[in-house]
Chains A and B, each alone.
Chain A
Amino acid sequence: MKIINFKQLIILLSIVFLISSCEGNLEPKIFDRVAPSNFYKTPDDLKAATSSIYWEFKQTGWGPYMVSDGSRFIMNEVATGEWTCKWSWDAFLNLNWIIGERMAYGFYGSMMTATTKATYVIEKIKESTVEESIKSKYIAELRCLRGYFAADLYMLYGPLPIIVTRDEAFYPTSTYKPSRPTKEWMASYVESELNECSKILPITQTDWGRCTKGAALAKLLKLYLYENKWQQADSVASVIMTLGYQLQSNYASIFTVNNEQNSEIIFAVPCEPKDQFGLLWFDNALPPDFKSSIGVNYTAWNGWRVPWAFYDSFESGDKRKNLIFQTYPSKTGQTVNLRTAGDVGGLAMKYGEDPNNPGQWTGNDYIQFRYADVLLCKAEALNEINAAPTQEIIDLLNQVRFRAFDNFDASNHKLKLSAFTTKEMMRDQILKDRGWELWCEGVRREDLLRHGKYLDVATSVGATFVSDKNLLYPIPSFALNENPNLLQNPGY
């Protein structure tokens, strides 16, 4: 064997050197992500960061402001008498919330984080070098979003240590273990946030779906009611009534896909008939053999029902009841009568069928607030403020009832002040009217709580584990475990 010569050795050493030169400075290359040094620099960056907070409403379509388990909707409908579910959600439906089911903790899990995310984006935008006017537009929207998240967390779980300051949002640690704030702090924080952003937000936005002045004020109105701050509620309602909203003449048309963005809607989550962007309303409500009148091939999970007791509570001739189906056409050409078939209730066909829905995801915008609710809230606030029922209250109710009946003015459905001699009688009427007008719109639990009736109603609809604890949802166990300063709600 020949021994290698010097020249060959030089060549070899150069090869070795060449190989080792690939090493570079060992900086990571992630081509599909944005480095912090490249973001929050342009108006488009700010827009994209803001959109990611809007996304929290619907998330992947099963989100906290949509209609699946863990949503505000389900939590505000359970055991209210106007909604029930046929799936084996027994513990939840029976108000036995001691166990860690997603129905009880899902909203907390999503929205505590979403609140922090909103704070993060607000603070990042504040520090951005983009033009002030653009910054303030997005900040106002984000404060409104954060106000929504915080207000609902408060009304579902009570006061919570939400993260609203820069350093806590930017530099999370596992040692930050705050106690629960007082009820007063949380309520007044959310009130002032919604109030302040409502002053900056425009009455209408060119992009449908963005927060408006009306959206911020509507949530503020709900919060004032929850807090029994009737005077403030009344004045906020009055402001909203100046913003140009109008009742639709036809009740069903509020919810149809071809009448989206109508003047009754104050705020909605825009939906498209597309995976993750649609509303799962029909899927939850319909039985599998339901035959669509417009040929939609529904995914049907046969879950929701509107109980017969509520169905039967409507005054005769109320057209709003027509959106609850007692019978439906089946695919085999028969008419199925749910009541005679022994089912627990009718079908909640509140939203109009979307012809573009391929089956699962329907494109109806999911309404968060509409003008009729504001009118009824105003009526309620006035009734609490005044010593006795007034004609203004009656007028507000009749304004909403008008479209529900044929020949309303001549009918006995038109309310008369003389029939309501006491504040309590008026209060009961308002609660009934709210149910008939706003059934299955995710407001009922708040209404019943305000009237001190939630626990009674829950018991009367058959929930077996009702107690004072049910006035608030339980703080999830994962949150208690990580933070001993976070105290559980009473009764859990």
Chain B
Amino acid sequence: MKKTRFISKIILLSIFLTVFTFNVAAQKVTLSFQNVPFEKVLSAIKKQTGLSLVFSDQLVDVNRIVSINLKAGEIEDALKQLLLGTNIGFEIKSNKLYFIEKIANQKSDTPQKSKNISGLVTDEKGDPIIGASVMIKGEKIGTVTSVNGNFSLEATAQSTLVISYIGYQFKEVKVNNQTSLSIILTENNKALDEVIVVGYGTMKKSDINAAIVSIKPEDLQMNSASSLTQTLSGKAAGLTVLGGSAQPGGGQQVLIRGAASVGAGNDPLYVLDGFPVSNANIDPGSGTRYSQGDRNFLNTLNPNDIASIEILKDASATAIYGARGCNGVILITTKRGSNGFKVDYSGNYSVQTIAKRPLMLTASEQMTETNNYMYEEYLMRYKAYPYGTRDVSTLPTFKQKYTLDQIAAAGTGTDWYGLITQLGLINQQNISISKGSEDTKVLFSMNYFDQQGVIKSSGLKRYSGRLNVDQKLTPWLDFSISLSGSVVDNTNAALGGGENENSGIIQSALQYSPGIQAIRDDNGEYLLNPSQALIPNPLSFLDITDNTNEKRWLTNAFFNIHLNKYASLKLTAGMDDDKASRNLYLPKTFMYGKGQNGVASIVDNSKTDYLTEATFSYIRDIAKDHHFSAVLGYSFQQFNILGNSANTYDFFTDAFLYNKLSAGAGTPNVDSWHSQSVMASYFGRVQYSLLDRYLFTITGRADGSDKFGKNHKYGFFPSGAFAWRVTQEPFMQEQKTVSDLKLRLSLGQTGNSNIGNNAYEYYAADGHNYYLGGVPSVGVGLIQLANPDLKWETTSEANFGIDFGFFKNRISGSVELFYKQINDLLSSMPLMSNSILSSVPANIGKTESKGLEVSLATRNLTGPFVWNSNFTLTSYRDKWLERNPNYILQPFEKAGAPINAVYGFIAEGLMQPGEVVSTMPQLIPGQMKIKDVSEDGKIDNKDMVLLGVNAPKFTMGLNNSFMYKNFDLSFFLYSSLGRLGWSHMNFKYGTGVEILGIKNGNNFLADIQNRWSSNNMTSTMPSGFRNPYLLDGQYAHEDASYLRLKNITLGYNFKGKLIKTNHINNCRLYVDVQNVLTLTKFSGLDPEVENNSASYPLQRTFTVGLNLTLN
């Protein structure tokens, strides 16, 4: 009986040929069936003989009605009888029963000399392909390959053989003089029968009428990546990965179809094996001034466990996730056990170097530039040329701060940046064991990931394990469970781009005087620079102990009840329990530990989400041409966030770290927090396909949330889609060029409810305490204003898509065009600055986003030398349509501006001596002139203009992979175009603001030696004296477009007897380089990850690794 179309397609697709059963070679069978499906007879044969069945159900129609009556007959006789009148033959070998296509092996009557050709057909891994069809082109002569993958047939030298097999690309081979052929078929990843995961179900790719991209893990370079999102950029059209932090486990911003939501977040919804994971980052702060950086919430997920990733883009695909679907959905499916036994091992080691490090002044250069700076100051003070008219010869003598001897003696000085950086190292070990029978399938995996960051004291260690079990309990009941647990130990470097006393380790290293020696004094403290007294010594940061330990336990269990041949009910219960704890100790040898005689802090934060779901599915074919399926469901999810913190100070010893808080003599601080919210949802989807050509889908979801006021607790989000598979039309059957063409159209609405807690009014005791009468008196104040009218943010989206394939899918791909409007944007409405609170939750306007996405896959070369390419292009534009009239705009902001608008001044070059700049009366020569755009005779923020957007206009990815014999090579190019960037680094450590601090020993970029000065008046770099007009707006934006060779991988597959005879199925050794080369005009450290003046440097990663499969 056909269970469901989907499930059978999974079986069909999994042309996994290995079904082990006991070796009971009973060759006699007793069969008595009247008008039953062939499947039923087959299972009887299987039961009686112990044979495993191996076939493609493209070939064998298991629903064919058959009758047989045989008592203790030979199995061969039974099969012959059953297969009578079909084109199916069979073969029994090694306890397996193969069904293969029977091809009339007619002798040709042609007089040409034919010879016997033999050959072997294998897949790319060298495994024989059984049952592949080998035909002579243009004739009806052919054969199929045997269990060993061998074939032989008669052909002439002029013949061309056509070798084909389901799921693989067909191949044509000229016979010529060869008599023995070796043919490798390439797996056809883009096969239309591919099953992809959609919200609450799976679907054949050919049936999809929504905008969905499916990514296989082998397309991602995950060798040295700690988490999935790092590898996604450029791999899926419509998905943009922006910026983020380059630290170990650093987080990126992942966007699907732009970022048109302004206040409620643009993060997509991640659904892990059916569990919607809330991506609230629970990484605790520490109560100190140092940031742990920005980490990825998916760090706990072992990327090696991923079987597939589906990106749901349009409203038709995401509406089933209703109020959480508006930013797209990323479905992550983990690997599950399969029939047979298999062990996969992968291990790799990586070395990381800093891709580009800043070039700072040496000690002697710093001293020379200090003298030069002070000389300019001296000219200014006496209003001498070029700052005035007085002749330099009339001035009192200038006294150099440093003599030439002192400068020469200083040499290069201390390279602080060099001292706080190191070689990054990654060690990753992964093992996964899969074992399964018809009834029970188990996958168990373990992962160890250990990264030492390129900034000293930063690092990440992950230990994770997974157990996925699928168990058939009764013929009508299946049970599955996905269990995963992980522990991530982060060591935190003191990051962040704060100034002065808030400087982190990188900031400190960049600005610390090269003239200070990197040594400790008698008290064990690093030497300080008295004139940089707010900044701790860069190396003293390494004395801090700061760890974040995260433990995550994600469990999801399903009962699948097959109610009848059409209907099934799935019950789901799950829990995502995520705990993170940050422990920090600032010792007495560190400036801000010393100030409080040692500071210890512990913060625990946990997020526990519970999910229960029930989904009812119904699938039915009515007559031959009407295929109908439906899903109805209910989902309830509860989100809990709670935590506590404790900190104290004044320790008699540094030895305890944070492990004995009661040893701190200071007044301890304790706190705790707890909130809970729920979401209850009803959803449904109906699909209908007519003649396999016209595909209709209607989806809807109603979500209820406790975040909104009484009138707006529930929201409803509908969508509809239609697709036309043009190539299925009769008139398309004759042509050969177009192998696939599908036009898709979808319309729908999704929502966003991501506004933090809710829209109610609250008071809180948030540390606003005050000593009254010698004791702390707790202060309680209003922290949130209510907005009873607050409602869901709603996105309405239209999508038009074309899927195409040409020349038997040698070229295939899709193009998507979308337009969406977001209404009732959820955000906080800023109130007047003298209001009791700075904002109130509100719906603040309307935005739109439109875009184009192109994916293209080409098989450029087949044959012994294989060359495949994949190209993706993503382009979107977000802009404001309407703003709440009460929303206060800056004077330079325009109502219909792009969302990521960058405003700034227009620079007009440096002021030269004698020049009069009437709009900037305080300007002195060597400072940047600003265009008076408003023409009001002065420079203020009315002169700021829209310079561009802080989002790429185009992002592109191009992957090329080559295969020749045992070698494989691939490289991946990524490009981002049209984004305006700003080198925080150049601005702060160049002459962007001022270099006044050089007198205190502050260090700057070596570049400032070229700045404008009385000796260098042709320079275009400002003089480094603070321009009083420039604090509010910047002119330093530049084009941050770039092309990056992100990755090159070279692999070698071991083959041959040694491998085959030791149960080794696959053995591949590879080397890999990440971030090989970046071409850009951007002047800063990196056009992508430079997000403050002390950003974590991007690394170049060299990896060597081994993949091994045993069975």
* Binary contact track B1008-1035/A, C-beta < 8 Å → 1, others 0: 0000000000000000001011011000
Query: If A33-B763, A272-B667 touch, does A48 touch B704 (CB 8 Å cutoff)?
Result: no
Chain A residues near B773: list those with CB within 8 A: 205-210
Chain B positions 768 through 788: 1 when the CB is less than 8 Å from some CB of chain A, otherwise 0 = 111111101111111101000
Give the chain B neighbours of A12 by CB distance below 8 A.
561, 563, 569, 571
Q: A22-B638, A172-B832, A275-B669 are in contact. Are A31 and B713 (CB under 8 A)?
A: no
For A57, A270, A298, the residue with the greatest tally of chain B CB atoms inside 10 Å of its CB is A270
Query: Quick check: B634 and A26 within 8 Å, CB to CB?
Result: no
A32 touching B704, Cβ below 8 Å = no
| Contact of B175 with A by CB under 8 A | no
Closest to B1032 in A: A100
Whether the pair B772, A208 counts as a contact (CB closer than 8 A) is yes
A316 in the interface, Cβ–Cβ < 8 Å?
no
Residue contact A1 to B763, C-beta cutoff 8 Å: no
B711 at the interface (CB under 8 A from A): no
Asked whether A299 lies within 8 Å of B833 as measured between CB atoms, the reply is no
Find out whether the CB atom of A209 lies under 8 angstroms from the CB atom of B779: no
B758 to chain A, nearest CB (A): 5
| B202 at the A interface (CB under 8 A) | no
Q: Does A175 contact B (CB under 8 A)?
A: yes
A209, B772: Cβ atoms under 8 Å?
A: yes
A305 to chain B, nearest CB (A): 13
Contact of A23 among B597, B636, B669 (CB under 8 A): B636
In the bound complex, residues from chain A placing their C-beta under 8 Å from that of B732 are none
Candidate in B3, B476, B771 with the most chain A CB atoms within 10 angstroms: B771
Residue of A19, A39, A177, A482 near B612 (CB, 8 A) is A19
Q: Which of A19, A90, A359 contacts B594 (CB 8 A)?
A: A359
- Is A174 in the interface zone, CB < 8 Å from B? yes
B675 partner, pick from A31, A298, A479, beta carbons under 8 A: A31
Contacts A29-B676, A88-B996, A298-B595: A47 and B833 contacting too (C-beta < 8 A)? Answer: no
Cβ A482 vs Cβ B771 within 8 A: no
Q: Which of A270-326 contact B (CB under 8 A)?
A: 270-272, 274-277, 283, 287-289, 297-303
Q: Which residues of B contact A1 (CB under 8 A)?
A: 1, 3, 475-476, 562, 565
A11-48 interface mask toward B, CB cutoff 8 Å, 1 = contact, 0 = none? 01001100110111011111111111001000001011
Given A26, A34, A101, A298, which contacts B706 in the complex, CB threshold below 8 Å? Answer: A26
Contact indicator A272/B891 (Cβ below 8 Å): no
B832 surroundings in chain A (CB, below 8 A): 172-174, 176-177, 482-483
Contacts A1-B1, A2-B475, A51-B768: A360 and B677 contacting too (C-beta < 8 A)?
A: no
With A12-B561, A33-B762 as known contacts, state yes or no: A477 contacts B1032, CB within 8 Å. Answer: yes
B1026 to chain A, nearest CB (A): 6
B835 touches A172 (CB 8 A): yes
| A residues 461-492 touching B (CB-CB < 8 Å) | 465, 476-479, 481-483
The answer, yes or no, to whether A113 is at the interface (CB within 8 Å) is: yes
Interface of A is mostly: loop
B181 to chain A, nearest CB (A): 45
Q: How far is the CA of A184 from the CA of B868 in the complex (A)?
A: 81
Q: Which residues of A contact B707 (CB under 8 A)?
A: 28
Q: Which of A91-99, A399-407, A422-430 contacts B (4 or more CB under 8 A)?
A: A91-99
CB distance A51 to B675 under 8 Å? no
Quick one: CB contact mask for A371-412 with B, threshold 8 Å, 1 for yes? 000000000000000000000000000000000000000000
Q: Which residues of A contact B922 (CB under 8 A)?
A: 96, 465
**Is there contact, CB below 8 Å, between A28 and B758?**
yes
| Contact stretch, chosen from A115-123, A219-227, A432-440 | A115-123
CA distance A57 to B530 in the complex (A): 31
Chain B residue nearest to A39 (CB atoms) is B763
Closest to A336 in B: B530
Residues of chain B within 8 A (CB-CB) of A27 are 706
- Contacts of A34 on B, CB cut-off 8 Å? 762-765, 780
Assess the B530–A28 pair: CB atoms within 8 A: no
Quote the shortest CB–CB distance from B586 to chain A (angstroms): 11
B830's partner among A121, A163, A174, A175 (CB-CB below 8 A) is A174
Is there a chain A Cβ closer than 8 Å to B77's Cβ? no
Least Cβ distance of A136 to chain B in Å?
18
Residues of chain A within 8 A (CB-CB) of B706 are 26-29
Count A-B pairs with CB separation below 8 Å.
Answer: 288
Distance, CA A113 to CA B838, complexed state (A): 9
* B860 located at the interface, meaning its Cβ lies under 8 Å from any Cβ of chain A in the complex: no
- Complex Cα gap A48–B835 (Å): 21
Chain B CB count within 10 A is highest, among A23, A361, A465, for A23
A29 in contact with B675 given A51-B772, A174-B830 (CB within 8 Å): yes
- Is the beta-carbon distance between A30 and B596 smaller than 8 angstroms? no
User: Inside 8 A of B829's CB, which chain A residues have their CB?
Assistant: 174
For the complex, count residues of A whose C-beta is within 8 A of B.
101
Residues of A68-120 contacting chain B, CB below 8 A: 86-88, 90-91, 96, 98-101, 109, 112-113, 115-117, 120
Is residue A58 contacting chain B, with contact meaning CB distance below 8 A? yes
Chain A residues near B758 (CB-CB < 8 A): 28, 30
Write the chain A residue with the least CB distance to B1000: A88
Contact A48 B595 (CB under 8 A): no
Q: Are B680 and A299 in contact (CB under 8 A)?
A: no
Contact between B530 and A287, CB atoms less than 8 A apart:
yes
B1007 beta carbon closer than 8 Å to chain A: no
Tell me if A247 is interfacial: C-beta within 8 Å of chain B: no
**Separation in Å of the B527 CB from the closest CB of chain A?**
10
| Contact between chains at B770 and A4 (CB < 8 Å) | no
Alpha-carbon separation in the docked complex, A301 to B533 (Å): 5
Complex: A365 Cα to B890 Cα, angstroms:
41
In the complex, what residues of B have CB within 8 A of residue A98's CB?
A: 1028
Q: Tell me which residues across on chain B come within 8 A of A26, comparing CB atoms.
A: 678, 680, 704-706, 713
Instruction: Select one of B501, B564, B831 contacting A173, CB under 8 A.
Output: B831
* Contact among A4, A22, A271 with B771 in the assembled complex (CB-CB below 8 Å): A271
Q: Within the assembled complex, what's the spacing in Å between the Cα atoms of A16 and B569?
A: 10
The residues in B between 777 and 817 inclusive whose CB is less than 8 angstroms from any CB of A are 777-783, 785
Q: Are A48 and B475 in contact (CB under 8 A)?
A: no
Is A169 part of the contact surface with B, judged by Cβ < 8 Å? yes
Inter-chain CA distance A88–B562, complex, in Å, is 75
Residue of A nearest to B651 (CB): A358
Chain B residues within an 8 Å CB radius of A177: 832
Q: How far is the CA of A393 from the CA of B973 in the complex (A)?
A: 84
Given A4-B563, A96-B922, A482-B888, are A162 and B834 neighbors across the interface (CB < 8 Å)?
yes
| Bound Cα distance A4, B680 (Å) | 29
A interface footprint on B1031-1044 (CB within 8 Å = 1, 0 otherwise):
11000000000000
The answer to the question of A9 belonging to the interface, with a C-beta cut-off of 8 Å to chain B, is: yes
* B772–A207 touching, CB < 8 Å: yes
B1026 touches A90 (CB 8 A): yes
Mark B31-70 against chain A: 1 for CB-CB distance below 8 A, else 0.
Answer: 0000000000000000000000000000000000000000
Given A359-B596, A477-B1032, the answer on whether A116 and B834 have CB atoms closer than 8 Å is yes
A48 CB contact (under 8 Å) in B530, B676, B761, B777: B777
In chain A, residues 190-242, which have Cβ atoms closer than 8 Å to a Cβ of chain B?
A: 205-210
* CB contact between B636 and one of A20, A206, A298 (< 8 Å): that residue: A20
Q: Which of the residues B530, B675, B774 comes within 8 Å of A289, measured between beta carbons?
A: B530
- Which chain B residues border A120 with CB–CB below 8 Å? 782, 836
Q: How far is the CA of A361 from the CA of B614 in the complex (A)?
A: 58
Cα-based distance from A72 to B888 in the complex (angstroms): 29
B243 at the interface (CB under 8 A from A): no
Minimum Cβ distance to chain B for residue A490 (Å) = 15
- Residues of B within 8 Å of A9, CB to CB, are 563
**Contact (Cβ within 8 A) B672 A32:** yes
- The answer, yes or no, to whether A3 is at the interface (CB within 8 Å) is yes
Can you name 6 extra interface pairs (CB under 8 A) apart from A54-B770, A174-B888, A482-B888?
A30-B675, A31-B676, A86-B531, A172-B831, A300-B533, A476-B833
**What are 20 contact pairs spanning A and B, CB under 8 A?**
A4-B563, A20-B614, A26-B678, A29-B676, A30-B760, A45-B780, A51-B779, A52-B770, A90-B1026, A99-B1032, A120-B836, A174-B888, A208-B773, A270-B774, A272-B667, A274-B666, A276-B767, A288-B533, A302-B531, A302-B533
